[in-house]
Amino acid sequence: MKHPLALVTAVVLAIGGAAVTTTAYAAQCPSGNFCAWTDANYGGQRWNWSGDDGNWEPGIEDADSSWANHGISGPGIKDHVQVYENPGWVGLGTVCLAPGQEIPYDSWGNDSGDSHTWKMSC
């Protein structure tokens, strides 16, 4: 028969381990920001914004491959992020992220972003 203390310890460790992993983000993006990376899986150079940007800078424009929305949510707050294929929020949307959403790679949006805006929904 197993020792009861060992069984209780194993259960406590299993529960504690699950709680720790569910709160961590895969992407390193500051709270309150939208982030885009030049490489898939949140690699390469990271750019982050807390507001809209109608004309991305050289280095990230048409070079985005992964994205994360760590914006703040609440009643009446624009908490979704829409990325556009052209400056000035014009043209097709490439990716749209809900609050807390992270996209490690998307073939449609890859190397296509030139601007983004915060919205109420996607």
pLDDT in tens, 96-106: 999 999 999 99
What does pTM read for this prediction? 0.77
Q: Work out the pLDDT band at 84, boundaries 50, 70, 90.
A: very high
Residue 120's identity, in one-letter code, is: M
In angstroms, the CA 25 to CA 35 distance is 13
| Residue 25: predicted pLDDT | 54
Set out the domains of the chain in order of their start, with CATH numbers.
29-119 (2.60.20.10)
| Residue 90: predicted pLDDT | 82
pLDDT in tens, 14-41: 333 322 223 345 799 999 999 999 999 9
Residue (of 97, 47, 45, 105) closest to 68 by Cα position: 97
